[in-house]
Homo-oligomer: A and B are copies of this chain.
Amino acid sequence: MTLSILLAEDDIELNSAIEEALQCEGFTVTCCHSAEQALDEAEQQKFDIALLDLVMPGMTGVDAIAALRRLQPGIGIVITTAFATVDTAVDAMKRGADDFVTKPFNLTTLATTLRRVQAQRQPALTLPEEEANKVFSALSNPMRRAVLQQLALHKKLRFMDLCRLAGVDNHTQFNFHLRQLKQSGLVEQNANKIYFLTTHGQQMVQFIAASSDE
C-alpha cells in the first residue's frame, strides 16, 4: 500500500533529496516550501502523513499541526528540525505531533519512521457498518449502559450481583439485555460465569459519564 506524504521543507536541496529518497522507498510525495502551502494542499487531497520542518518562513511546522488535524484528523504528523531542544520537542509532541526527528537524519530510517507512524495512526476504534449498528443499538438502552458502567467500575461481576448493581428487579428482563450486550461484543462471560468488558466495551464506556450513584 502506497503511503502519500505531504512534505513541507523550505530548504530546496533537502526538499529534493527527501522527495527522491521517499519516492525510491515507494511513497507518493507532494512537496511544499511552506506550511501555508501544505495546508492548501491538505484542503485538496488526503494524505497519510505530513512531514513538516519545524522552522520555516511564516507559519512553523508546529503552528500547522492543529489546522492539519482539523482538515484531516487521521493524518500522521512528523516534525523535523536541525535545532532540536528538549523544550521544542516536548512542545511539538504536546501539540499533537506523532514523532520528532532531528537533522541530519538517515533517509532510510526516516522511511521506517513514517511507516511506523502510519501504522500507529489507526483510529483507536472504527466500527464497520454492521458492527456500528450492533454497538449503537446496544447502547441506546439505559439498562445496557448501566451494565457497562458497573463493569467499568467493578471489573468482574457475577450475573445477579451485576443485576442488583444495575438496579433491576426482574432478572429475566436483565438476562435479555445482557444477552444483547454479549451479542454486540461489548461484554463477555468467562467459564466461571463472571462477566467483564471486552476491549470494545472498555473503549465505548469511556463516553458514558460514570453513574453518580454509589
Q: Does A209 contact B132, Cβ atoms closer than 8 Å?
A: yes
A94-B93, A99-B94, A140-B140 known; A132 and B208 CB under 8 Å? yes
The contact size tier of chain A is 20 to 34
Tell me which residues from 118 to 144 in chain A have a Cβ below 8 Å from any Cβ of chain B.
Answer: 123, 125-129, 132-133, 136-137, 139-140, 142
State how many copies of this chain the complex holds. 2
- Is A162 an interface residue when CB atoms closer than 8 A count as contact? no
Nearest chain B CB to A108's CB is how many angstroms away? 18
Which of A3-11, A32-40, A84-92, A163-171 is near enough to bind chain B? A84-92
Q: Does A136 contact B139, Cβ atoms closer than 8 Å?
A: yes
Nearest chain B CB to A98's CB is how many angstroms away? 8
Q: Does A208 contact B140, Cβ atoms closer than 8 Å?
A: no
Q: Could you say which of B99, B100, B139, B209 contacts A128, with CB atoms under 8 Å apart? A: B209
Q: Does A145 contact B126, Cβ atoms closer than 8 Å?
A: no
- Is A207 an interface residue when CB atoms closer than 8 A count as contact? yes
Residues in B with CB closer than 8 Å to A99 are 90, 94
A190 to B102, CA, bound (A): 45
A133 to B149, CA, bound (A): 14
- Is A175 an interface residue when CB atoms closer than 8 A count as contact? no
A: which residues have CB within 8 A of B? 73, 84-86, 89-90, 93-94, 98-100, 102, 123, 125-129, 132-133, 136-137, 139-140, 142, 145, 202, 206-209, 211
For the complex of A and B, 6 pairs with smallest distance between CB atoms: A93-B93, A136-B139, A140-B140, A137-B140, A136-B140, A84-B86
